[in-house]
Amino acid sequence: MLLRIPQLLSEQDLRRVREAIDSAAWVDGNVTSGHQSALAKHNQQLPEEAATARQIGELILDRLSGCPLFVSAALPLKVYPPLFNRYAGGEMFGIHVDNAIRAKAGSDFRIRSDLSATVFLSEPEDYEGGELVIEDTYGAHSVKLAAGDMVLYPASSLHHVTPVTRGVRVASFFWIQSMVRDVGDRRMLFELDESVQTLTAEKGGRNPTVIALTGLYHNLLRKWSDL
């Protein structure tokens, strides 16, 4: 499932983020690459341990926790601390698949990467190229969103970032381990939750059908969760 989450970051959030990271020291993006990715990756990245990356990452995590659409779609168990990358001057990221397990250096924190996420931090008109292209059974999907928007997609997907031929593309990226491992089960739960929310708005929370469907949702989540 590929899902756009609009306006995860507000305009005020974006100003704070860009002021912090635009003046930070960037390094070769391959500092976090696996073997396969290192062959295809040509960009810059904020060091994971940099104070700026940690502080702004915490802001993004806070906004995620308060985003019902993200919580409903991802059913997050763990979220890898957000990282930040930058593309300019023809930089790109060739086709690849994300590592199945992501471990944070110098700690015992590790996750299974069920979902990948990109938060766009540059407006699309500020750069040429830089589309995130995600492949699934329905073909290739080109994603280039407004600053502050996020795209969520299966980490198992083949994907790439096209060369940035003008301007600078800045984004945050990270991975999520879901409480529900199977992508099909997770999608059905998301669609059921959306239906329950719509029916609740129309009929009220005490409606017998709403109560029955809510019970079904939680029983399925209980059945399918890894907890």
Residue 199 main-chain phi, psi, to 5 deg: -65, -35
| Residue listed under structure tokens 């407006």 | 123
- Residue 34 above 60 pLDDT? no
Q: Supply the DSSP symbol for 157.
A: S
Q: Could you read off the pLDDT of 83-99 as tens digits, one per residue? A: 999 999 999 999 999 99
Q: Could you read off the pLDDT of 160-170 as tens digits, one per residue? A: 999 999 999 99
Query: What CA–CA distance (Å, rounded) separates 109 from 128?
Result: 36
Residue pair 18/37 in contact (Cβ under 8 Å)? The answer is no
**Percentage of the chain modeled with pLDDT above 90:** 89
Query: What CA–CA distance (Å, rounded) separates 195 from 210?
Result: 9
State mean pLDDT over 16-32. 87
More confidently predicted of 137 and 20: 20
Q: Could you read off the pLDDT of 142-190 as tens digits, one per residue? A: 999 999 999 999 999 999 999 999 999 999 999 999 999 999 999 999 9
Q: What is the pTM of this model?
A: 0.93
167: left (phi over 0), alpha (psi -120 to 50) or beta: left
Domains in the chain and their CATH numbers? 3-178 (2.60.120.620), 183-224 (4.10.860)
